[in-house]
Amino acid sequence: MPFYEYQVVEGHEGCDTCRHSFEKWQKMKDDALTACPDCGAPVHRLLFAQSISTPKTPAELKNLGFTKLVKREEGVYENLTRTGNESKYMVRDKPETMPDIKSKITD
């Protein structure tokens, strides 16, 4: 379910809620809000935010081209999203173990 962000229409007083913009979860088919639920001032939708789908698993991060490093011990990080020839562990001061971030950015 996506959420929408609303803010009071410029030129209207509004209240603490709508002056700073507030978020409201709505079903796709629901109509957009036109008035602040707290004070009734006219509001408009600021942006359409994707449903919250922050990638959490290494596989999801990898698919999105992120590199996730988890500290295993002092100076040693496990690269949970390693691809290709990347080293499973990144060791500080060992450049050859660094994730190949550049290639991911240009992909």
User: Is there binding between residue 17 and Zn ion (CB under 5 A)?
Assistant: yes
User: Is there binding between residue 18 and Zn ion (CB under 5 A)?
Assistant: yes
User: Is there binding between residue 6 and Zn ion (CB under 5 A)?
Assistant: no
Our CB check for Zn ion shows the closer of 19 and 104 to be 19
Residues 36-55 that bind Zn ion (CB under 5 A): 36, 38-39, 41
Rounded to the nearest angstrom, the gap between the alpha carbon of residue 97 and the centroid of all alpha carbons in its chain is 28
Of the CA atoms within 13 Å of residue 12, those in its CB half-sphere come to 19
Our CB check for Zn ion shows the closer of 3 and 57 to be 3
User: Is there binding between residue 15 and Zn ion (CB under 5 A)?
Assistant: yes
Phi-psi region of 59 (alpha: psi -120 to 50; beta: other; left: phi over 0): alpha
Query: Which residues have C-beta within 8 Å of that of residue 74, sequence separation ≥ 6?
Result: none
User: Binding residues for Zn ion, per CB under 5 A?
Assistant: 14-15, 17-18, 36, 38-39, 41
